[in-house]
Each structure stands twice: as C-alpha cells, then as structure tokens.
Structure 1
Amino acid sequence: MTAVSGVSRKIAAGERGETRIADRVVAKIAAQAAKESIEEPPEEGAAPRATVTVHRDIARVRVSLELRYPSDIGRQCGGVRRRVTERVGELVGMDVPEVAVQVERLHPVGAGAGAQGRIR
C-alpha cells in the first residue's frame, strides 16, 4: 500500500516491479527472425547472427548473414529489416529504429560438392 495525499491504495501486480530482457535474448530473437525472412537460405551457409544494443526500450540491431547468389540482395536485406523490427517489437515490446544488415558471404547456386572452377 502506498500513501498518496493521505489515501492508501493497493498497487496492482501488473504495475509493480520491472522486467529486464538481456541483450543476448533480443539478439537471439533477431537472428531467428532474420533466418525466417531469407527466401532461399544457402545450403552450406551459416545461420544468421545478430548483436544488439539495448537502451531502455530501444534496441539497435546488427545482423550478419549469408545469401545465395544470384539473388535480389537489396530486397532480401529489406525483408530481414522488416521482419526483425516486427518480431522484436511483438515479442519484447521494444522499438527498433535501426537494423543494420551485413552480408558476409554469397553462395553461388550450384556450387557445392563436385563443383568446378572456371572452364575455358
């Protein structure tokens, strides 16, 4: 109970305390959202990774990923930004004003076991 101008009132359970979500939890959500948004992930590619900086209710996200080549890289990166922003907002209630997407590697289609280099 708290006293406000001499009146006692009970504080509802939902109004007490605070919830903190670790940066690594937000990063895990962001990486999963990035993975979900990639249209055709490369067969031998690494899963997307994310790092996050959280300040109050604002998360700044950096996602590193690998894509197939050829593909529309700009469109896929835009899709990653939208999905990460949406999922982090839905699941942890944070604003995401910035999602930096870094394409680490491109995997050529058909390059795998037995693929040869240039032939003249």
Structure 2
Amino acid sequence: MVPAADRGATRIADRVVAKIAAQAAREALAGGLPAPGAAPHATVTVHHDIARVRVSLELGYPSDLAAQCAAVRTQVARRVEECAAMSVPEVDVDIEHLHSTHTRPAPGGRDRRLR
C-alpha cells in the first residue's frame, strides 16, 4: 500500500473557488438581491492554499451597503475555507451597480441604474 503522502495532490482550480465564492455571496445576500440585478460573480487568485477573492455585485438602494458587504465578506471567507480548505485573508467587494427602489423599469424591460 502506498503511503498517503506519496499518492499525489489535489488541486482545486481558481474558477471552482470563484464559483464557491459567488454562491456564498448569493447566500449572504439572500433576500437582499435586487430583482433586476445580476447575480454576484467572483474572481480568485490562489497561491498554495491561500485564496484572494474579489466579489462583484449589484445591490438595492437605499440600503445598508456596509452591512451587506460585511456579510458577503464573512460568508465568502467561511464557505471557501469550508469547501476548498483554503485560507482567505481578504475578500474585496466591488459594488458594480445600485438599483434604486424609487426608479421604475425603463421601457423594454431594462431598469435604470444608478452609477
């Protein structure tokens, strides 16, 4: 029988970790995602077992943006550590769009976005 240390290594692709992070962001914002908004997406850089994560998302406005970003950071770090066994020293959150609750969708089904 071959010792465990000599059997090989497991490598989790960056895109897989990014999918875990994006799903964790959705979980953190459950009920807080604006209806017309795009789902969160993530980019990840992995070096050894350390993942640096950047999550881009759209939020409703007005709302407590800082609290939502803090919830995303916490959930993303926790889920990546649980699912991929990687350390996550930082999670950067980019708010790409704010969707106002006071604006109506524009003709053609597209919404107006605050920038």
- Alignment partner of 1:25 is 2:31: no
1:16 corresponds in structure 2 to 7
1:51 corresponds in structure 2 to 43
1:110 to partner: Cα distance: 4.2
Runs of 4+ in 1 over 6 A off after TM superposition: none
1:40 to partner: Cα distance: 1.4
Instruction: State how far apart, in whole Å, the 2-side matches of 1:113 and 1:99 are.
Output: 32
What amino acid does structure 2 have at the position aligned with 1:70?
P
User: What TM-score do you get using the length of structure 1 for normalisation?
Assistant: 0.82
Larger radius of gyration: 1
- Give the SS at the match of 1:87: helix
From the superposition, tell whether residues 75 and 18 of structure 1 become closer, same or farther in structure 2 (CA, over 3 Å). same
Instruction: State how far apart, in whole Å, the 2-side matches of 1:16 and 1:31 are.
Output: 31
Instruction: State how far apart, in whole Å, the 2-side matches of 1:87 and 1:15 are.
Output: 29
Instruction: State how far apart, in whole Å, the 2-side matches of 1:112 and 1:41 are.
Output: 17
Listed as ranges, the gaps of 5+ residues in structure 1 are 2-9
Per-residue CA shift, 1:27-60, capped at 9, x if unaligned?
A: 0000010011114110100110100000000000
Report the RMSD for the aligned CA atoms in angstroms: 2.1
Instruction: State how far apart, in whole Å, the 2-side matches of 1:20 and 1:46 are.
Output: 30
1:104 corresponds in structure 2 to 96
User: What TM-score do you get using the length of structure 2 for normalisation?
Assistant: 0.85
1:11 to partner: Cα distance: 1.3
Listed as ranges, the gaps of 5+ residues in structure 2 are none
